[in-house]
């Protein structure tokens, strides 16, 4: 597909249709959601976004509805409002007899009940809560509706009337379904992750949050008029898991096209990681590998993160004496990511292969590095490897040992970096949002045509 595709399809109606785009995020800094809204607006829709309180960006061209005070969109365990206090929802008061508790205790036996007690202390969840999460679907959904920022999101959405409700990720899906039913409208679902496996490396999340995610997604995905996601791997996984009648559409996280000029690699070779600075992104392992890099390589880390985690990375850098070779940079606005990346040579991303979600990942930064005309150096995960092989603009490495990372970086000669830069500039003509948005608009406009 070439960059000649244009966003020109408009709903064939006498009046403008209204699209409401919902996401449990700070929308001005959510690249995918912001691009969705811009594409719909440019294609002739009236657009309203619903998100969580956050950034006030005057460059946003459509209204954003929010309610309440800012809260973390996702907690440390991947729950929408922090730890999943499932046991606080729909539980019988402690002072009353609990028939379900006695029934579970009878079924599992004394030894297993004792083990469940230990799990309770570790997970801060009662055994009966776990039982209900897995065997009482209505309870899992009740937990979802109890989360404060889900309630905020629903309250903000209730002020909007729309013809099309676009739910970004499973956290917005029930709200979009509820609002569409209220309005006699349709809803569509765009999954940014393979949600049931997103935090699979965490025991607490697997036991408590996964059944909530699965129940919510299973109930509401079937009636979505369009299902889309960010990679072919996630599309295949969703089709199989929920026995969908057809594979979800793939709409990738590519940025708007902007021309990058080739910049030859100089004496100093600059590697960039940009994005959320958080655990699970291979940053500690990457920093540990830097002492084994050749002296001409420098690593730059740019992005927002928890202050406690950022301080830990800085301590690691100091302890290894790497202050001049690993540079922490402040975050930049989403719309500046690609222009700011052009000052570097290599776009870097190391990710553990500990879940299907990570195997299928195809993140914003992959396409942002490409659009900036950088060579790519990324983990050997299915979707990223496939595109690196197709376009020849990146190298991949297996595992996260410091030896593997260092050997891969040291193999990046100026000659092959420049060769991959040229190929990235060429690939950016196809890996751009106008091509992805054209597919999205075709699907959405068909729903309301006529």
> Secondary structure of the chain in the HEC alphabet?
CCCCCCCCCCCCCCCCCEEEEEECCCHHHCHHHHHHHHHHHHCCCEEEEECCCCCCCCCCCCCEECCCCCCCCCCCCCCCCCCCCHHHCCCCCCCCCCHHHHHHHHHHHHHHHHHHHHHHHHHCCCHHHHHHHHHCHHHHHHHHHHCHHHHHHHHHHCCCCCCEEEEECCCCHHHHHHHHHHHCCEEEEEECCCHHHCCCCCHHHHHHHHHHHHHHHHHHHCCCCCEEECCHHHHHHHHHHCCCCCCCEECCCCCCCCCCCCCCCCCCEEEEEECCECCCCCHHHHHHHHHHCCCCEEEEEECCECHHHHHHHHHHHHHCCCCCCEEEECCCCHHHHHHHHCCCCEEEECCCCCCHHHHCCCCHHHHHHHHCCCEEEEECCHHHHHHHHHHCCEEEECCCCHHHHHHHHHCCCHHHHHHHHHHHHHHCCCCCHHHHHHHHHHHHHHHHCC
Kindly provide the b/e burial profile for residues 58-94, where b requires at least 16 CB atoms within 10 angstroms of the residue's own CB: eeeebebbbbeeeeebbbebbbbbbbbbbbebebeee
Cα–Cα dist 252/258, whole Å: 17
Cα–Cα dist 49/51, whole Å: 7
Cα angle vertex 355, ends 354, 360, to 5°?
A: 120
Residue 81: predicted pLDDT: 59
The residues spanned by each domain of the chain are 18-80+143-254+434-448, 86-133, 269-431
- 369: nearest Cα among 250, 255, 202, 209: 255
Cα angle vertex 36, ends 34, 39, to 5°?
A: 110
Residue 169: predicted pLDDT: 96
Kindly provide the b/e burial profile for residues 424-434, where b requires at least 16 CB atoms within 10 angstroms of the residue's own CB: bbebbbbbbbb
Instruction: Name the pTM for this structure.
Output: 0.84
Identify the segments of the chain with pLDDT beneath 70.
Answer: 1-14, 70-79, 81-101, 103-105, 108, 113-127, 450
Residue 128, token pair as written in the block:
């009966």
Order the strands of the 164-168 sheet from edge to edge: 64-65, 46-50, 18-23, 164-168, 186-191, 227-229, 249-250
Cα–Cα dist 256/371, whole Å: 8
Residue 7: predicted pLDDT: 45
Residue 167: predicted pLDDT: 98
Q: Does residue 265 contact residue 373 with C-beta atoms inside 8 Å?
A: no
Residue 121: predicted pLDDT: 56
Bridge-based pairing state of the strands 269-274 and 249-250: unpaired
Residue 174: predicted pLDDT: 97
Residue 77: predicted pLDDT: 58
Cβ neighbour number for residue 159 with a 10 Å cutoff: 11
Summarised one tens digit per residue, pLDDT across range 4-44 is 334 445 554 457 899 999 999 999 989 999 999 999 999 99
Residue 305: predicted pLDDT: 93
Backbone angles phi, psi at 376, to 5 degrees: -110, 145
Cα–Cα dist 302/300, whole Å: 6
Q: Please tell us whether the domain made up of 18-80+143-254+434-448 is placed in CATH 3.40.50.970.
A: no
Q: Please tell us whether the domain made up of 269-431 is placed in CATH 3.20.20.70.
A: no
Cβ neighbour number for residue 142 with a 10 Å cutoff: 15
Cα–Cα dist 379/363, whole Å: 12
Residue 34: predicted pLDDT: 95
Burial class of 45 by CB neighbour count within 10 A (0 to 12, 13 to 18, 19+): buried
Same fold, 18-80+143-254+434-448 and 269-431: yes
Strand partners, 106: none
Residue 206, token pair as written in the block:
């697997």
């Amino acid at each position: 597909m070439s960059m000649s595709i244009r966003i020109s399809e408009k709903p064939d109606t006498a009046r403008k249709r209204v699209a409401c785009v919902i996401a449990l995020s700070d929308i001005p800094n959510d690249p995918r959601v912001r691009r969705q809204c811009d594409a719909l607006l440019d294609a002739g829709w009236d657009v309203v976004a619903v998100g969580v309180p956050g950034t006030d960006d005057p460059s946003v061209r459509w209204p954003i509805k929010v309610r309440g005070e800012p809260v973390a969109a996702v907690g440390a365990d991947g729950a929408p409002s922090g730890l999943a206090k499932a046991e606080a929802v729909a539980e019988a008061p402690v002072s009353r007899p609990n028939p379900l508790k006695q029934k579970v205790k009878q079924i599992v036996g004394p030894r297993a009940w004792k083990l469940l007690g230990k799990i309770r202390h570790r997970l801060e969840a009662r055994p009966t809560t776990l039982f209900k999460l897995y065997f009482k679907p209505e309870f899992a959904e009740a937990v979802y509706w109890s989360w404060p920022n889900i309630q905020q999101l629903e309250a903000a959405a209730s002020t909007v009337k729309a013809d099309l409700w676009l739910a970004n990720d499973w956290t917005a899906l029930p709200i979009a379904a509820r609002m569409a039913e209220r309005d006699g409208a349709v809803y569509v679902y765009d999954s940014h992750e393979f949600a049931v496996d997103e935090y699979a490396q965490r025991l607490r999340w697997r036991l408590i949050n996964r059944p909530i995610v699965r129940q919510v997604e299973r109930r509401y995905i079937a009636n979505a008029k369009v299902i889309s996601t960010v990679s072919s791997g996630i599309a295949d996984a969703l089709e199989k898991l929920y026995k969908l009648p057809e594979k979800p559409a793939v709409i990738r996280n590519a940025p708007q096209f902007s021309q990058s000029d080739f910049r030859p690699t100089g004496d100093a070779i600059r590697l960039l990681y940009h994005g959320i600075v958080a655990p699970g992104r291979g940053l500690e392992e990457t920093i540990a590998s830097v002492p084994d890099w050749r002296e001409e390589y420098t690593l730059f880390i740019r992005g927002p993160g928890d202050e406690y985690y950022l301080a830990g990375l800085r301590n690691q850098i100091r302890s290894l004496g790497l202050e001049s070779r690993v540079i922490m940079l402040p975050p930049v606005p989403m719309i500046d990511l690609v222009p700011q990346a052009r000052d570097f040579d290599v776009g870097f991303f190391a990710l553990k292969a500990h879940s299907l979600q990570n195997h299928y990942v195809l993140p914003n930064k992959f396409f942002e590095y490409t659009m900036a005309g950088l060579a790519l150096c990324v983990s050997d995960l299915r979707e990223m490897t496939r595109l690196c092989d197709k376009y020849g603009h990146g190298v991949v490495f297996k595992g996260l040992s410091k030896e593997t990372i260092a050997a891969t970086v040291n193999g990046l000669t100026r000659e092959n970096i420049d060769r991959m830069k040229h190929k990235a500039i060429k690939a950016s003509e196809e890996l751009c949002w106008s091509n992805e948005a054209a597919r999205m608009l075709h699907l959405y406009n068909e729903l309301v045509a006529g």
